[in-house]
Structure 1
Amino acid sequence: MRILYDASRLMSRADRSAPTGVDRVCLAYAEWLLASPNVTTIPVRGRKNRLVTVDPDWFRRFVVDLRAKWNGAAGAAGDRSHEARLLTALTAPNRPTASVLGAPPAPVQARPADKARVFKQFFRSRHAAPLPDADLYLNVGHTTLQDPTALQDLQAAGIARVVLIHDLIPVTHPEFCRPGDGDKHRDRVVNTLRHASQVIVNSAYTGEELQAFARRENLPQPPIHVAHLGLEPAFAAGDAVAAPRPYFVHVGTIEARKNLALLLTLWRRLEERLGDRTPSLVLVGRYGWENEAVLDHLQRSPNLQGVVHQASNLSDAVLARLMRGARAVLAPSSVEGYDLPAVEACAMGLHLIASDIPPHRELTPGAELIDPLDGLGWLDAIERASTADASAPPACAAPAYTAPDWTAHFAIVAGAVGLGAASPLASAAKAL
Structure 2
Amino acid sequence: MTRVLFEVGRLIGRRDRAAPTGVDRVCLAYDRWLRGLKGVTVVPVHTTRRRMTALDPRWVGDRIAELAHRWTGDASAAPLPAETRLIRALTGPRPSRSLLDAPTEVETGRGRRTVERLLRTRPLPEPRRGDVYVDVGHAPLDGPYGLARLRTQGVRPLVMIHDLIPVSHPEFCRPGEGPRHRSRVRAALTHASGIVANSVATAEALAAFAARENVTPPRLVAAPLGLEALFAGPRWAPGAAPYFVCVGTLEARKNLAFLLTVWRRLAETMGDAAPRLALIGRHGWENEAVLDLLERSPPLQGLVHHAADLPDAALARLMTGARAVLAPSAVEGFDLPALEALSLGVPVIASDIAAHRELARGARLIDPLDGPGWTSAIASACAVVSPRAIFTPPTWPDHFAAVAPLAGLPEGR
Residue 101 in structure 1 maps to residue 95 in structure 2:
no
Residues 277 and 304 of structure 2 are in contact (CA less than 8 Å); yes or no, is this contact kept in structure 1? Answer: yes
Distance change in 2, residues 1:104/1:228 (3 Å): closer
| Aligned pairs (5 A) from 1:5-404 | 5-72=6-73, 80-92=80-92, 94-103=93-102, 114-126=110-122, 129-133=124-128, 135-147=131-143, 149-237=145-233, 243-386=239-382, 388-390=383-385, 392-394=386-388, 398-399=389-390, 401-404=391-394
Distance change in 2, residues 1:205/1:298 (3 Å): same
Residues 52 and 131 of structure 1 are in contact (CA less than 8 Å); yes or no, is this contact kept in structure 2? Answer: no
Residues 91 and 243 of structure 2 are in contact (CA less than 8 Å); yes or no, is this contact kept in structure 1? Answer: no
Quote the Cα distance in structure 2 between the aligned partners of 1:259 and 1:113.
34
Quote the Cα distance in structure 2 between the aligned partners of 1:178 and 1:335.
16
AA matched with 1:24: R
Q: Which runs of 5+ in 2 are unaligned?
A: none
Cα deviation for residue 273 of structure 1 reads 1.6
AA matched with 1:14: R
Quote the Cα distance in structure 1 between the aligned partners of 2:315 and 2:237.
10
Identity of aligned residues (%): 53
Q: Which runs of 5+ in 1 are unaligned?
A: 107-111
Cα deviation for residue 60 of structure 1 reads 1.4
Quote the Cα distance in structure 2 between the aligned partners of 1:319 and 1:357.
24
Distance change in 2, residues 1:104/1:246 (3 Å): same
Cα deviation for residue 359 of structure 1 reads 0.5
Distance change in 2, residues 1:269/1:117 (3 Å): farther
Residues 257 and 333 of structure 1 are in contact (CA less than 8 Å); yes or no, is this contact kept in structure 2? Answer: yes
Cα deviation for residue 98 of structure 1 reads 1.4
Quote the Cα distance in structure 1 between the aligned partners of 2:27 and 2:195.
15
AA matched with 1:84: T
Distance change in 2, residues 1:129/1:316 (3 Å): closer
Cα deviation for residue 114 of structure 1 reads 2.2
Q: Which residue of 2 aligns with 1:411?
A: 401
Quote the Cα distance in structure 2 between the aligned partners of 1:104 and 1:323.
21
Quote the Cα distance in structure 2 between the aligned partners of 1:259 and 1:116.
38
Cα deviation for residue 36 of structure 1 reads 2.0
Query: SS at 2:332's partner residue?
Result: coil
Query: SS at 1:234's partner residue?
Result: helix
Cα deviation for residue 34 of structure 1 reads 1.2
AA matched with 2:168: T
Indicate the larger mover: 145-154 or 34-43.
Answer: 145-154
AA matched with 1:144: P
Quote the Cα distance in structure 1 between the aligned partners of 2:347 and 2:394.
18
Cα deviation for residue 83 of structure 1 reads 2.2
Quote the Cα distance in structure 1 between the aligned partners of 2:142 and 2:27.
18
Distance change in 2, residues 1:227/1:129 (3 Å): closer
Quote the Cα distance in structure 1 between the aligned partners of 2:316 and 2:155.
40
AA matched with 1:410: F
AA matched with 2:67: L
Deviations 1:260-288 (A, max 9, x none): 00100010111112222210100000010
Query: SS at 1:354's partner residue?
Result: strand
Cα deviation for residue 80 of structure 1 reads 3.8
Count of residues in Structure 1 that have an aligned counterpart in Structure 2: 407
Query: SS at 2:53's partner residue?
Result: strand
Cα deviation for residue 240 of structure 1 reads 6.4
Cα deviation for residue 62 of structure 1 reads 1.5
Residues 146 and 185 of structure 1 are in contact (CA less than 8 Å); yes or no, is this contact kept in structure 2? Answer: no
Distance change in 2, residues 1:349/1:409 (3 Å): same
TM normalised by structure 2 equals 0.93
Quote the Cα distance in structure 2 between the aligned partners of 1:284 and 1:116.
30
Cα deviation for residue 129 of structure 1 reads 4.4
